[in-house]
Structure 1
Amino acid sequence: MPRLRSSSECLSLSPCQRECERTAFSFYCAVREQLPVWLLEEMRSMEVFCWDNGSPRAFLPSEALLYAIVHDHQDYARYLLNRYSVGALRAPCCSFCCCPGSGTPHLNVAVRYNRVAILRMTMEALKDCPGLGKRREYLDGCGGCVHAADAGKTAVQLAVELSHPDCLLQLLVHGARPDGLEVALQKLISCIVSERQQAQRCLDFLLLFLSKPPLLPCLRDEPQRWQGVLGNRVFSWLCGLTPSPLLLQALRCLAQSGSDCITSLPDFLQPHS
């Protein structure tokens, strides 16, 4: 997002740099105001510039997509992903995020702002990714600037930490690695009452996509506590003492068909640990 400069920094900029910042901010505001897609693309390709390695250049589709995600401009995000496919998810240039070595932050940004619809579009675009390894890099990479709050976290880990179960389900259904079980357990017992249902759903979705439970020291160190939180069957399965519960196995098979198959279930069949 546009980086605010101090007055001393602004005075040190050349007239060309100041003009780039002015047009970049006007583009940010245009996306925020949900202006029509055709107008935004005209601005991006012809009127808006950012400063890159000593010269102005047009905004990249990947940079425009970040703006669309932040401001939930679904029509613009859909256009960019349909028009440029995986190209719209390329890592922004260093000058854009003001930090060298940034990753691809689009999934993390979508999760942080809980943009479920745009995240779903992004998951569909990733189906066009050439090669499983590259797709896995997008899904499980720790994208974003190293100075950002989300540095070093995958989109799945961030969804668990923020208790955004709908985003988490989109990621898991499309093949993201189900990391973060220990964080989900700690979140469940530490969150306030109003957040407990969302934290519980995150834990349930992780359990659905675990092929086998990881060894968690917290379960071994405090068995009585976690047995009370999880119930006997789930606790025994996570400790490796019994097979996974039959209902969990059935829901796991259903989840492979897509997120709608889980979210459309009646409440008494929704996954609850």
Structure 2
Amino acid sequence: MPWLLPCQVSSSPSQRECERTAFSFYCAVRERLPVWMLEDMRRMEVFGWEDGPRAFLPSEALLYALVHDHQSYARFLLSEHLVDALRPRRCSLCRRSATPHLAVAVRYDRVPILGLMLAAVKERPPQDFLDRRGGCSHVADAGKTAVQLAVELSRPDCLLLLLVHGAPPCGLDAALQRLVASDSIDRRSAQRCLDLLLLFLPEPPAERRLRDQSHLWQSLLGNDVFSWLCGLAPPPLLLQALRCLARSGPDQITALPDFLQLHTWQ
């Protein structure tokens, strides 16, 4: 994986052995071996050569669990090594913070593990955890929060979890553009992401630029939402009711019957 193994040619037998051992651990997580076996492998002090032998870090192990959707291993790491498991890792090239765990969960659409992480830090979230941005320029998600990434990738289930747990509802412009750019297959997910952002925005900015293409936006958003975003009218009554319901938990929204789902306010 790029965050563990630098792109370089090994120059010594010890380096090559570290690479082989690290890849074995990667394969073991991919095969979803039992947690006790993975922990035995993780603690082996043969994974590093730059700073001498060291064990595989819980934060690195959690990234592998995210990529391969090993939910039981992720649950163990979060319960036994919460702070260390969620500690921002460093890019091996520039030594800056790279992609946060929340962003990885969103990119791979790991909704159950994302829920585990958010539940684990519900009482005392680490500083800037929910709006942490990737600072490394070597990854595609640099400078983006998990919410922004969920909007750009049209991950409504991930977005709802993040918003319910207090992540800032940023990315309205990206959600609007995503709705326009989406084809008929992806438009439902893009629409749902936009709807969720609208539920959690304290006060949406007056999007006066929407008036320049009023016919397009009215057809996509509905007249009531369009007028609200343009600052011409209050929010629809159903939207106001759903805003209160959404803040009580993700299950409250997803369990609604179809005639009360988000699209019905338009």
How many residues are aligned here? Answer: 263
CA contact (8 A) 2:44 2:56 kept: no
Alpha-carbon deviation of 1:45?
0.8
User: How well do the aligned residues superpose, as a CA RMSD in angstroms?
Assistant: 1.9
State how 1:156-171 maps to structure 2 within 5 Å: 156-171=147-162
State how 1:46-125 maps to structure 2 within 5 Å: 46=44, 48-52=46-50, 54-95=51-92, 98-103=93-98, 105-125=100-120
2:18 pairs with 1:20 = yes
Alpha-carbon deviation of 1:143?
2.4
CA contact (8 A) 1:104 1:138 kept: no
Alpha-carbon deviation of 1:225?
2.0
State how 1:190-229 maps to structure 2 within 5 Å: 190-216=181-207, 218-229=209-220
Distance 2:212 2:108 in 1: 35
Distance 1:189 1:46 in 2: 50
Please give the secondary structure, in 1, of the residue aligned with 2:94. coil
State how 1:132-143 maps to structure 2 within 5 Å: 134=127, 137-143=128-134
Please give the secondary structure, in 2, of the residue aligned with 1:193. coil
Structure 2 gaps of 5+ residues are none
Please give the secondary structure, in 2, of the residue aligned with 1:66. helix
AA paired with 1:157? Answer: Q
Q: What does residue 230 of structure 2 align with?
A: 239
Structure 1 gaps of 5+ residues are none
CA contact (8 A) 1:213 1:239 kept: no
Q: Name the CA shift for 1:48/1:63 in 2 (closer, same or farther; >3 Å).
A: same
Please give the secondary structure, in 1, of the residue aligned with 2:262. coil
Alpha-carbon deviation of 1:254?
0.7
CA contact (8 A) 1:108 1:154 kept: yes
Distance 1:211 1:144 in 2: 27
Q: What does residue 9 of structure 2 align with?
A: 10
CA contact (8 A) 1:85 1:128 kept: no
Q: Name the CA shift for 1:125/1:219 in 2 (closer, same or farther; >3 Å).
A: same
Task: Please list the CA deviations of residues 92-145 of structure 1 after superposition, one character each: whole Å capped at 9, or x if unmatched.
Answer: 2443xx3321245100100000000000001012224367xx1xx111111263
Distance 2:184 2:262 in 1: 19
CA contact (8 A) 1:104 1:144 kept: yes
AA paired with 2:253? Answer: I
Task: Please list the CA deviations of residues 34-82 of structure 1 after superposition, one character each: whole Å capped at 9, or x if unmatched.
Answer: 0000000010012651334x32211110110000000000000000011
CA contact (8 A) 1:86 1:128 kept: no
2:247 pairs with 1:256 = yes
Q: Kindly indicate which of the two structures has a greater share of residues assigned to helix.
A: 1
2:262 pairs with 1:271 = yes
Distance 1:233 1:51 in 2: 61
AA paired with 2:122? Answer: K
